[in-house]
């Protein structure tokens, strides 16, 4: 490699544009001509198109008359004959670069006992090697990689390399950088190396699951692997681990059901697990010293080690995660994976930036890294090889780990075409795999019409969105702690809640094409729990009244059109002691409190009854806007404290011909007149719920206090 003194710098910023930066300390920044060529080769004059004084340096924008072969070394000479190397610059963010180097084949490692093949995409590298490390002896070997078309580098190494550690070492702009394979499926402790494993040893068949006729059949329960079992009284042996999710018949205080058995007992259809791909923020060698939600992604295709019984064993985390997923599915519970493709933990330390500097991330008009995510970097999903990586990763988790859904963190950062490709890829595997995410419109340098936001939901008809309109109408603003929604007693939100109950579809005044697109919730891992918000906003009310309000809010979630979403512990008034962002708070704040659960068994049974009720009749979970528009009618006039609606003539969808649902947000007794004088059977009142009639009424019902009432007319 030639040694160069960079008295001035040259960058390839487009396929035929070279930018030269000359400091004024070097000949006052004044250059007359530039020529370009390969070392010891013919030189070609550049045309200076623009000259700009930058204060301490002068910028020259030049047109290049010859095609540049990216991956080859070039030298740029000034009129004095002084040379500098041509560095790869902003050209990596051009459409021409994307087109020239898009590679649609397999990347990563292909292992057999006889040989292992390595493939890494590094089009801007001039040299590349794979570094092999024998973990027992730390013996190191470097294997040169051969450059193929499209910027792919490869090597095949004979022999059985199972268990060997590896990284890639690439040279870009005369700087050697070492990086873990972005496609690594196994990593060493704390993700320091990729590990060569035989995934065939870990595979099992996916157990049969109860079929879903529509995404609205799902009842999603969001949970964190560690939170769910780490409590000292969880009754789980493998506390905070993947295997903690596999233990059956565990008991907590007062013989309360915990863990897997509780999930089955509750009746939810899906668990959404906070990120379990390898993330930063926890030392896997001593995992209980720190806590993290997992939104610090490092290795996207390898499981997190802090949840494994032995983080130093690359197979342990793979096998134990697969066992957890398989066990949940055996008990009829689908598993959704929370994925964080919108950013990396630290851009400069990421494998993406080390292997292809400047390509994988968005930059603003001034060349600074974009920060729509708020964590220092935004993934440039609109670039072809970034989109391919996301789609390849999603496919990997669906095929290898049999996950049943994907929740996309900050999905609005990603582009519409990428999310379309994700949906199409999963449809080819299983069209019932759920895809939904956060459709917030964040300030990333991508045109609004290209963002996968809620405002563009019509372009992604089979992808769901967390519905903050629903959340804030029912609960009150997440970001204004004292703001109160309908469930907290504010009747001004009544009309908004009616729209939300109707699936937020356009025909009812909402933003979605159909109810499959709305994920209805009032609480999730982010921000204050519902209970903690009420402590601030409704602290003047006694505890019993606040419990009624939380049950009312959860009932609205479970009985509205769309996809219901519950935060783990919401059903027994989960509290994080007022902490709104507990991403790295200790277990004492984040853990599921099984003592608290044991104290609210009656309230949990109420939520179980609502879940049973939703499952029993498809009128609570229509899949089209036409059905909602045809069958759902609000009863008016009503007092402002009451929302009442009639699901009329719905006998083809379940065991009852007509259903009336009443939500009341005040303690004052009110009479609600029913649509006709026939006998109506009450299935749910303010303290009981289920599918068995509690009592019957005619003409009217008195709703006495805060709560939800469900009445049905028999066929």
Rounded CA-CA distance 622/609 in Å is 19
The partner residues of 155 in beta bridges, in order of sequence, read 118
Beta strand extents in 231-384 (DSSP E only): 270-273, 277-279, 297-303, 334-339
Beta strand extents in 196-269 (DSSP E only): 220-223
Q: Which of 220, 221, 213, 242 is nearest to 230 (CA)?
A: 242
Residue 287 has a pLDDT of 97
Q: Quick one: residue 561, left, alpha or beta (phi over 0 = left, psi -120 to 50 = alpha)? A: beta
- Within 8 A by CB and 6+ apart from 285, the residues are 189, 190, 311, 312
Look at residue 642 and give its three-state secondary structure: strand
**What would the two tokens of residue 148 be?**
């193929």
Which residues does the chain have with pLDDT short of 70? 1-3, 715
Residue 3 has a pLDDT of 67
Residue 54 has a pLDDT of 96
Contact by Cβ (8 Å): 226, 291:
yes
- Provide φ and ψ at 6, rounded to 5°: -85, 75
- Provide φ and ψ at 647, rounded to 5°: -95, 105
Residue 470 has a pLDDT of 98
Secondary structure letter of residue 415 according to DSSP? B
Distance, CA of 79 to chain centre: 53
Q: Quick one: residue 507, left, alpha or beta (phi over 0 = left, psi -120 to 50 = alpha)? A: alpha
Residue 70 has a pLDDT of 97
Strands 642-647 and 700-704: unpaired
Rounded CA-CA distance 482/188 in Å is 47
Query: In Å, how far are 11, 36, 62 from 16, measured between CA atoms?
Result: 11, 12, 8
Active site (catalytic) residues: 409, 438
**What would the two tokens of residue 214 be?**
């529509």
**What would the two tokens of residue 458 be?**
């019509």
pTM beyond cutoff 0.95? yes
| First-last CA distance in the chain | 85
Rounded CA-CA distance 374/518 in Å is 25
pLDDT tens-digit readout, 256-306: 999 999 999 999 999 999 999 999 999 999 999 999 999 999 999 999 999
Rounded CA-CA distance 592/470 in Å is 25
Rounded CA-CA distance 248/419 in Å is 37
- Within 8 A by CB and 6+ apart from 404, the residues are 209, 270, 329, 334, 335, 336, 432, 433, 434
**What would the two tokens of residue 181 be?**
């394979």
């Amino acid at each position: 490699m030639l040694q160069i003194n960079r008295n001035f710098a040259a960058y390839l910023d487009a396929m035929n544009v070279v930018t030269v930066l000359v400091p004024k300390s070097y000949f006052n920044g004044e250059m007359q001509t530039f020529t370009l060529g390969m070392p010891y080769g013919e030189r070609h004059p550049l045309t200076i198109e623009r000259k700009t004084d930058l204060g301490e340096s002068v910028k020259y924008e030049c047109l290049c008359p010859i095609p540049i072969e990216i991956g080859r070394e070039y030298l740029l000479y000034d009129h004095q004959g002084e040379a500098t190397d041509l560095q790869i610059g902003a050209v990596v963010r051009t459409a021409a670069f994307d087109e020239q180097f898009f590679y649609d084949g397999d990347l990563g490692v292909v292992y057999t006992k006889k040989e292992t093949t390595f493939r890494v995409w590094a089009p801007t590298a001039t040299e590349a090697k794979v570094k092999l490390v024998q973990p027992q002896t730390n013996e190191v070997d470097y294997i040169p990689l051969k450059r193929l078309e499209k910027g792919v580098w490869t090597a095949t190494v004979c022999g059985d390399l199972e268990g060997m550690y590896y990284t890639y070492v690439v040279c870009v702009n005369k700087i050697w950088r070492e990086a873990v394979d972005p496609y690594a499926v196994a990593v060493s402790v704390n993700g320091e190396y990729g590990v060569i494993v035989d995934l065939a040893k870990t595979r099992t068949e996916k157990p049969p699951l109860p079929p879903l006729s529509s995404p609205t059949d799902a009842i999603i329960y969001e949970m964190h692997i560690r939170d769910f079992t780490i409590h000292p009284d969880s009754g789980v042996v493998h506390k905070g681990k993947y295997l903690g999710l596999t233990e059956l018949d565990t008991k907590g205080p007062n013989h309360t059901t915990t863990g897997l058995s509780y999930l089955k007992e509750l009746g939810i259809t899906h668990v959404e697990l906070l990120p379990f791909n390898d993330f930063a923020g926890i030392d896997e060698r001593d995992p209980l010293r720190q806590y993290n939600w997992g939104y610090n992604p490092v290795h996207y295709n390898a499981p997190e080690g802090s949840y494994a019984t032995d983080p130093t064993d690359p197979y342990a985390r793979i096998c134990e995660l697969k066992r957890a997923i398989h066990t949940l599915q055996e008990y009829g519970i689908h598993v959704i994976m929370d994925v964080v493709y919108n950013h990396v933990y630290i851009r400069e330390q990421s494998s993406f930036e080390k292997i292809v500097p400047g390509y994988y991330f968005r930059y603003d008009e001034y060349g600074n890294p974009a920060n729509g995510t708020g964590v220092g970097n935004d993934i440039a999903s609109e670039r072809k090889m970034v989109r391919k990586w996301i789609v390849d990763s999603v496919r990997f988790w669906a095929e290898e780990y049999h996950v049943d859904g994907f929740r996309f963190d900050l999905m609005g950062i990603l582009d519409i075409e990428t999310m379309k490709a994700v949906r199409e890829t999963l449809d080819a595997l299983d069209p019932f795999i759920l895809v939904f995410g956060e459709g917030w419109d964040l300030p990333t340098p991508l045109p609004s019409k290209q963002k996968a936001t809620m405002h563009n939901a019509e372009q992604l008809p089979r992808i769901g969105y967390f519905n903050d309109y629903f959340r804030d109408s029912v609960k009150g603003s997440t970001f204004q702690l004292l703001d109160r929604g309908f469930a907290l007693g504010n009747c001004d939100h009544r009309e908004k809640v009616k729209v939300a109950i109707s699936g937020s579809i356009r025909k009812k005044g909402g933003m979605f094409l159909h109810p499959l697109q709305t994920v209805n919730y009032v609480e999730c891992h982010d921000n204050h729990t519902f209970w903690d918000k009420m402590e601030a906003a409704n602290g003047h009310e006694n505890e019993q009244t606040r419990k009624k309000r939380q049950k009312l809010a959860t009932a609205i979630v479970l009985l509205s059109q769309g996809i219901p979403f519950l935060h783990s512990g919401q059903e027994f008034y989960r509290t994080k002691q007022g902490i709104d962002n507990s991403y790295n708070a200790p277990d004492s704040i984040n853990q599921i409190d099984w003592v608290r659960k044991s104290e609210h068994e009656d309230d949990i049974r109420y939520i179980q009854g609502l879940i049973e009720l939703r499952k029993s009749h498809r009128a609570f979970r229509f899949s089209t806007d036409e059905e909602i528009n045809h069958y759902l009618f609000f009863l008016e006039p009503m007092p402002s404290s009451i929302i009442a609606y009639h699901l009329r003539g719905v006998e083809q969808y379940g065991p009852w011909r007509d259903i009336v649902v009443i939500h009341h947000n005040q303690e004052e007794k009110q009479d609600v007149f029913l649509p006709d004088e026939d006998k109506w059977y009450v299935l749910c009142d303010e303290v009981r719920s289920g599918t068995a009639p509690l009592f019957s009424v005619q003409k009217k019902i008195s709703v006495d206090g805060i709560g939800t009432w469900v009445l049905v007319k028999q066929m």
